[in-house]
Structure 1
Amino acid sequence: MKSILIIGMGRFGQHLCKNLNKLGNEVMIIDLLEEKLSDLLPFVTAAKIGDCTNEEVLKSLGISNFDICFVCIGSNFQSSLEITSLVKELGAKYVISKANRDIHAKFLLRNGADEVIYPNRDIAEKLAVRCSANHVFDYVELTEGYSIVEIPPLSSWLGKSIKQIGIRPNFRVSILGIKKEDSEVKLLPPADYIITGKEHLMIIGMKSDIDKILADTR
């Protein structure tokens, strides 16, 4: 469980708040507008109305007490930049700021953000990959060139164990997990696991190697 502050309760901030709460974290939220806070009260430990470009408002929050501070101001980059800088100056342990453009990200990183996220871009990229390949059910890009994808097994793998197939030596990827028909996920399956064809495989590896597997599923 972590203590988390979310500044700015637009759509992204609201979804973030609910999901962080669902995972057992203690969440405090703050926004200029009261109406953006009222529906979220069941999901937070504290909510406050205030202008976070005002240093005194931020000081009253006890910034250094939070494990992570999210700055989710999407419509006003100047405010996002000011708040990011102030939050870091006030002792924030880790600051994650929302950006809409690469140039915004550069300034945010220079002014105190430890990490920058692009919710709209990231969702668009993930959807584009999933919709462009017939056999990709989910997709997560880890770093440049490396990804996790959820795919059906190749027909040549059916009835064989992971060891018999030689996933790692022959295909240069690893099976991170097995997703059953009931959506149950079994992480790090043993080498003697027999692939039946009634599951999806969550594989991790270089994009170029994953693309070769996807080509064989067509």
Structure 2
Amino acid sequence: MKTILIIGMGRFGHHLCKDFYKLGNEVMIIDKCQEKVEDLLAYSTAAKVGDCTNEEVLRSLGIGNFDLCFVCIGSNFQSSLEITSMVKEMGGKYVISKASRDIHAKFLLRNGADEVIYPDRDIAEKLAVRHSADHVFDYIELTKGYSIFEIPPMHSWLGKSIRQVDIRAKFHVSILGIKRDGNLELMPHADYILRDKEHLMVIGKKEDIDRILANMR
């Protein structure tokens, strides 16, 4: 369990609050709009209405007591920058700020953010990759070099074991798991027989996985 502070209860902050709370974390939220705070009272450990560009309001939160501090203000970059800087100065252990542009991210990192996230850009990229190919069910970018794809097995692989198919040697990707009927089996044995209507969770470089997808057309 971690202690989480979320500043700014827009759409992203709203979902972040619910998800952290459901995972058993202690979550404190704050926004200058009372209605946004009231909507999340059932999903937060503590809630406060206030303007965090006000140093006194921010200091009253006890910034140093939180494991993670999220600054989720996307509509006013100046406010986001000021709050990020003050949160770090007041003892924020790990500050994560939301950005919509690269230039904003650079300033946030220079002024106290330990990490910058681009929720809108990341979702758009994920959707573009997923829907640009006919055989991609899900996609997670780990680094600029490697990603995890959820794909079906090639027709020629059906009825064969992972060892027989030898995906690692032929395509330079590894199978992390097998998903069937909503259940996921991680790290399947090399003798596992691949079957129809299964999804493979494979990790590798995008260009190598693209070669597999090209053979499915």
Shorter-chain TM-score: what band?
Answer: over 0.9
Q: 1:139 corresponds to which residue? A: 139
Please tell me the residue identity of whatever aligns with 1:196. Answer: R
Secondary structure (helix, strand or coil) at the match of 2:203 reads: strand
Distance 2:188 2:23 in 1: 25
TM-score (normalised: structure 1): 0.97
CA drift at 1:184 = 1.1
Structure 1: segments with no counterpart, 5+ residues: none
| The 10-residue stretch of structure 1 (157-166 or 108-117) with the greater mean CA deviation from structure 2 | 157-166
Distance 1:91 1:202 in 2: 40
Distance 1:108 1:204 in 2: 32
TM-score (normalised: structure 2): 0.97
Secondary structure (helix, strand or coil) at the match of 1:148 reads: strand
Secondary structure (helix, strand or coil) at the match of 2:215 reads: helix
Q: Indicate yes or no: 2:166 matched with 1:166.
A: yes
CA drift at 1:217 = 1.3
CA drift at 1:10 = 0.4
Identity %: 76
Q: Deviations over 1:138-185 (max 9, x none)?
A: 11111112111100001111111111211212211111111112x111
Taking only aligned residues, the RMSD between alpha carbons, in angstroms, comes to 0.9
Q: 1:217 corresponds to which residue? A: 216
Structure 2: segments with no counterpart, 5+ residues: none
Moved over 6 A (4+): none
Q: Deviations over 1:161-218 (max 9, x none)?
A: 111211212211111111112x111112122211112210111101111111111111
Distance 2:169 2:90 in 1: 50
| 1:26-41 to 2 correspondences below 5 Å | 26-41=26-41
Q: Deviations over 1:70-125 (max 9, x none)?
A: 00000000000001011111111111100011100000011111111111111111
Distance 1:82 1:13 in 2: 18
Q: 1:205 corresponds to which residue? A: 204
Distance 1:189 1:113 in 2: 39
Distance 1:174 1:148 in 2: 10
Q: 2:118 corresponds to which residue? A: 118
Distance 1:180 1:2 in 2: 33
Q: Deviations over 1:12-49 (max 9, x none)?
A: 10011111112121111000011001111111100001
Distance 1:39 1:19 in 2: 15
Please tell me the residue identity of whatever aligns with 1:187. Answer: L
